[in-house]
Amino acid sequence: MSTEATSAIKVPVSGKSANVSEKKGSKKNGKIEQVQFTLKTPKGTKDWADKDMVIREGIFNSLSQLFKRHGGVTIDTPVFELREILAGKYGEDSKLIYNLEDQGGELTSLRYDLTVPFARFVAMNGISQIKRYHIAKVYRRDQPAMTKGRMREFYQCDFDVAGSHDPMVPDAEILAILVEGLTGLGVTDFKIKLNHRKILDGIFQVCGVKDEDVRKISSAVDKLDKLPWEAVKKEMCEEKNQPEEVADKIGEFVKLNGSIEEILSILTKNELLSNNPSAAEGLKEMQILDTYAKAFNITSFISFDLSLARGLDYYTGLIYEAVTAQSAPPKDADQKKKNAKTDDEDASEYVGVGSIAAGGRYDNLVGMFSGASRSSGKAGASIPCVGISFGVERIFSLIKARLESQQFKVRPTSTQVYIMAFGGGEGWNGFLAERMAIAKKLWSAGIECEYLYKAKANPRKQFDAAEKSGCPVGVILGKEEYPQGKLRVKLLGTGENDDGELIDIDDVVEVVKSKLKDGNVDGVDEVTRLLKGL
């Protein structure tokens, strides 16, 4: 026989830890054994609640509607995959994968992204063409920077096009989706850095890099957004064993950036590069892309940046990432990193937000699974793919900063109307059933509303509840007026000491909708204004 008891704990939503005594259920020598533990979320994770959830759900909704406009269908895949599915797909980042314990003979790992599971899904189901979007959590055992949206558990919002199409057509639309997605969330001060893996591989080849070293040199070049060229060159020569003259030749190329048209004019004049089969194919595709980008009117957001390499091994063509002024680390990042404690759980002080969206073309990834057996018993084919992934937490960090710097009244609930009843004296029952009836009318009309779960509710407590939820409109059932088919609709939070507008009960839906519309600025609610940066 055991007894159980736990102390009452008030847990802050911010995720701050607290030392807590737990009274275990077993007794030792007649005494309850005390165990100390820290009440906190795991490193790199956080609880989400209140206004933060409202904002995040708004981001999901905005991106989902965007994906649907472009013909996307949604799928879902398991949060963990067979370890062999993920192995060998992420280059040096493979060390960040969360491996799970053996459960009954299968070695599994938490998904690192949504791209490899999508490729597995396409190969396993014999799909030859699909536009899909997927909004789900992924896991990376990286150093967290919580206030910058760099976490170990985070959401990605992916849109991918799989199938054979004319060159660069889906690639250009993916870039248009990237621009639409960010501008639709009020993020306008961004730049899409893009490059082409075939051009980059061609550059490495003409500079003297051996084929087996291309991927690890790509990984070094990809650090140019965080490190100066001298540091990247040192890594190439000392850690990646490249001759200094090879590194110097690479440096002449990877320092170039500008519009697609500008960089193409430079690269096409280089005979060695133009005669390299890989680079020539990439240059031709970039010329096509330039035409389509102009058609979509997105060239002002694009920078053809030869320093962009993207560390993931599966990219085969166009690669890109969206960055803002907050993406880069602070200027004194090195000093702050030196001053940080070795056991510091958060690197926010010395890192930037990083890219807020990224993606590229991966034509061979599905083919890696095509030889594997499928449920149908047939081998799949290699399907060309291209996609984009929005980093929700990183975008959230930008929008949260916007919320804190401007006067937006984002409420933790969606409740629009609070239904109240005023009365008293002999025979007063609180109109609880009547409040329920009005709530049913409003709910049926798609209007979010609440009422106090108490039969005879004190007027002050009803107003306090309405104020706490931030409702803009109150519907008031008066003891004398309601039996006569009347009630009052009042705007809340205005500071006006009026009784509200007396209306017929049958008109409550129409009047409430009108009041709600009038309460919005230019017909737009506060959450939408925040997300769009209005």
pLDDT tens-digit readout, 304-336: 999 998 766 788 999 999 998 776 665 655 655
**Residue ranges in the chain whose pLDDT is less than 70:** 1-34, 147-149, 311-312, 327-353, 371-380, 405-411, 519-527, 529, 532-534
Looking at the domain assignment, is residue 453 inside a domain? yes
Q: What are the tokens at 176?
A: 């248009």
Residue 215, marked binder: no
Q: How many domains does the chain have?
A: 4
Q: What are 92-151's pLDDT values in tens digits?
A: 778 899 999 887 888 999 999 999 999 999 999 999 999 999 999 999 988 877 766 678
Looking at the structure, do residues 230 and 317 belong to the same domain, yes or no? yes
Residue 529, marked binder: no
Question: For residues 282 and 202, is the Cβ–Cβ distance under 8 A?
Answer: yes
Angle, alpha carbons 336-341-346 (nearest 5°): 75
Residue 114, marked binder: yes
Looking at the structure, do residues 20 and 76 belong to the same domain, yes or no? no
Looking at the structure, do residues 445 and 358 belong to the same domain, yes or no? no
Looking at the structure, do residues 333 and 438 belong to the same domain, yes or no? no
Residue 156, marked binder: yes
Residue 113, marked binder: yes
Domain limits at 474? 417-529
Looking at the structure, do residues 405 and 424 belong to the same domain, yes or no? no
DSSP-assigned states of every residue in 439-489:
HHHHHHTT--EEE-S-SS--HHHHHHHHHHHT-SEEEEEETTTGGGTEEEE
Q: Which pLDDT belongs to residue 196?
A: 95
Q: Which pLDDT belongs to residue 4?
A: 39
Looking at the structure, do residues 280 and 214 belong to the same domain, yes or no? yes
Looking at the domain assignment, is residue 169 inside a domain? no
Residue 77, marked binder: no
Looking at the domain assignment, is residue 380 inside a domain? no
Residue 314, marked binder: yes
Residue 115, marked binder: yes
Residue 492, marked binder: no
- Output the pTM of the full model: 0.81
Looking at the domain assignment, is residue 233 inside a domain? yes
Looking at the structure, do residues 222 and 124 belong to the same domain, yes or no? no
Question: For residues 96 and 112, is the Cβ–Cβ distance under 8 A?
Answer: yes
